[in-house]
Structures are given as structure tokens and as C-alpha cells.
Amino acid sequence: MDQHFYALLAVNAILFVVEVLVSTKLSYSKSQDMFLHKLLLQDFRLFSQQILEFQDQTSLIIAPNAGGKSSILEAIYLLASGQSFRADKVEEMISFQADVAQVKAKIYSQQPKNTAENDLLSGLDELQLAVLLTRGQVNGKRTKKQHYSVNDNKRLKKDFVGNLLAVVFRPEDMRLIEGSPSRRRDYLNSSLLLVDREYQSALRQYEQILRRRNKILSSIQEGTQSPQALTYWDMGLIKHGEKLQEKRRELSEFINSIVEAPLKFRFEYQPSTITRDKLEARRRSEIGAGFTLIGPHKDDFEVQIKLGARGTGKNFVSLDAYGSRGQKRMGVLWLKKAELAFLKHKTNKSPLLLLDDILSELDDENRLRVLQLVDGEQTIITTADEDLVQEIQDQFSSLQIIKLKSASD
């Protein structure tokens, strides 16, 4: 890889580190211990260049639909998790006319004093995170599609993830209760991947083995391989699958033990338990299907609601089957509160809360409940509805309002 490629890592770095005016002041909560201060997007989505400075604990980004709001939160989440919450391919995040995109952030991890910028920044712990995205080729040479760095030092993804914590809440999440199992598995993964390296490693290896095992099952089906070829891959699938399900059970137990709600909910983890005996019992069915039928990739969970004021656990029933639309939305809010609580519990840090145009989807009562999720975290809210601005302002003592210039999702 030539020098020109590495130079791309620093595109517009000078612009990014330009200091703000001395008179600028920042507002922090006493409990804040992680603050995203600056964000640079370079050829990301349809932003050729965008620099944002966050000054208050709560920021409201206003833009019309397709105006770039989700792209801002996507970029922040990319810096936290190393992946997009909406792109199926890396190329989708790179501007059409560009070969490379960059997302970079400056983060403070100590609570600063509310003073002038030159006093505010001196002595603070500063963290710079960056993700460089490519189409797999730069200047005719093959390269990785994602490159990560911390304080300008290259990092593997596993060492990059978790330096910034973030929970994103999107309109699509309102279908967590009644949507597909894959959506709920994404929920299980979202928090665990940020804070648990064992889980990261187990999931990565499990998915690699699963793909290989499925190819072998297809080959056995076609008569080009023997069923004995599965033995080695079964061992790895069981080993890493058991680790994933162990961690998911711990998350389930945490949610049920710590997270409160106006209604009584329960998190019922439904693992597709994987053992040698179960794999052998399904061998013929799996060969016939050409893919693996059990394991963590088939896991699910159910949110249950308690009926009546008294009784035992038998009073809990499926929220999807028996809950009203309003109760299901409260159940989703409960899950998001659980996600925030779990990250705080595991790291003793407050994650960023990213509310992606969720308020326009809710009635007055549930909008208030969403805003009440905010509890010491830096929060970034997006909306296309300027009629909601005053309602949001009423909930916070200080609110930074950012109106995006022309861009498009």
C-alpha cells in the first residue's frame, strides 16, 4: 500500500482539529464521563464534507426527510461499533463520486469545567477515533474495506470497538416486539458486541464456521462429500455457540433483575440450544435442507407482560400476542432502557443515546417517555418536524439546535 493511500487517512485532518472560538462554552451533566465534541464526515453518504461541533449534553439536529439526519447518527454509531446500523455493504456509505470515505471524531472522557474553550480543553483526556472506508481498491491496489484508528494509530476492529459507547433508537425498532427473530437477535448482539470481547470473538468464529458447515451440508446433499466431513465443524459450532448463549442468558438475567417500567415486563430468552446429540438427531434434516437448523443463529426472545396485580410468574403472557399497541411501544422503550443500563453496568460509563427521528412516530405520552430515557447520557436527537422543537426544548435545561445544510440520505 503506497504513501498516497496512507495520506488519505489524514484527509482534511487540519480542518477537523481547528479550534473553536475562545468564547465557545460547553454544557455537561455532572454524571457525564464521555462527550462527543467534534465529528467529521468526508465523502460519507452524500456529505462531501461535514464538520459538526457538539456543545451541549443534548443536541437536536433538524433537517427535512432525506436531509442527512440518519447519516450523522450512522457515522457516530460506526465509530462506536465498527459497523453501520443500516448499510448492508460498506460501499453504500461512500459517496457515489468517491473511492474513499472517512469518519472521524474527537471525544473527551473527563468532565470538563464550564469555562472558556482555552481553559476547558487544557489537561483533558482526549480520544480521537477514525474509520476509513474503501471500495476494496485504492489506486488499483486491493485493500481492506474498513480501516480503524485510535489517536492516529491503526487498530484491529476488535481493539477499536467499545472506545465509544452508543445506543441508537430508530423507528424500525418499534417493530422489535412483533418483528422478525433476526431483528431481535440484532438487539441481543448490539450491546454485547460493544463491551464483551469474548462475545465478539465467539460470534465471529461461530459465523465463519456456520458458513463453512452450510457449504458442506450442500455438498453432502449433492453427493460430493461424506457426512463425516461435518464432525470437525460440529465441534467448533458447539464450542462457540455455547459461549454465545451463555452470554445471552447473562444479558437476559440482567434485564429482568435491574430494569423497571410502568408496566411489569419480563424478558424471556428462547435459545435454540446446540449440543452434539441435537446435531446428530437433525443430521438427515439438515442434509435435506442444505443448512444448519439449530444454534444461536436461530435464537429468539419474547417480551412478556404481567396480567393482574397478584400471582406468580404464570401471569406473564406474550406482549406480542396479548398487548395493546401502546403496551408494545412501552415494551420497546423498556428494551432500549435495558440496553442503556447494560452498557453502563458493564463499563461504568454513560453511552451516547442517539434518537433517530423516533419522536415523530409516537403520540404525546410516548414521546415524553422516550425523552425520559435520557439520564446523564449525551443525547443527540434528530427530527424533520420543526413543530416538535419547543416540546423537546421544554424537557431540557439546555439544548443545542443544529440545522443541517443541504445533504441527502
- Is the confidence at residue 103, as pLDDT, over 90? yes
Confidence class for position 22, pLDDT limits 50, 70, 90: very low
User: Domain limits of the chain?
Assistant: 1-165+351-409, 172-348
Please tell me the distance from the alpha carbon of residue 283 to that of residue 108, in angstroms, as a whole number.
53
- Is the confidence at residue 16, as pLDDT, over 70? no
Tens of pLDDT, residues 271-311:
999 999 999 999 999 999 999 999 999 999 999 999 865 44
- Is the confidence at residue 1, as pLDDT, over 60? no
Query: b/e for 371-380, b at 16 or more Cβ within 10 A?
Result: bebbebbbbb
Q: Output the CATH code of domain 172-348.
A: 1.20.1050.90
Please tell me the distance from the alpha carbon of residue 18 to that of residue 294, in angstroms, as a whole number.
53
| pTM for the structure as a whole | 0.86
Tens of pLDDT, residues 305-353:
998 654 445 689 999 999 999 899 999 999 999 999 999 999 999 899 9
pLDDT at 241: 98
- Is the confidence at residue 52, as pLDDT, over 80? yes
- Across the range 68-87, mean pLDDT stands at 96
Lowest mean pLDDT among 104-113, 141-150, 187-196, 384-393: 104-113
Please tell me the distance from the alpha carbon of residue 388 to that of residue 362, in angstroms, as a whole number.
11
Matching fold, domains 1-165+351-409 and 172-348? no
What is the DSSP-derived secondary structure letter of residue 351? P
Tens of pLDDT, residues 347-396:
999 899 999 999 988 888 888 889 988 887 899 999 999 899 999 999 99
- Is the confidence at residue 93, as pLDDT, over 50? yes
Confidence class for position 113, pLDDT limits 50, 70, 90: low
- Of 382, 395, 329, nearest to 353 by C-alpha is 382
- Is the confidence at residue 20, as pLDDT, over 50? no
Q: Is CATH 3.40.50.300 the classification given to domain 1-165+351-409?
A: yes
Query: Which three-class secondary structure state does DSSP give residue 409?
Result: coil
State the residue for C-alpha cell 422478525.
180
- Is the confidence at residue 111, as pLDDT, over 70? no
- Is the confidence at residue 110, as pLDDT, over 70? no
Q: What angle do CA 46, 52, 55 make, to 5 degrees?
A: 155
Output 7 or 77, whichever has higher pLDDT: 77
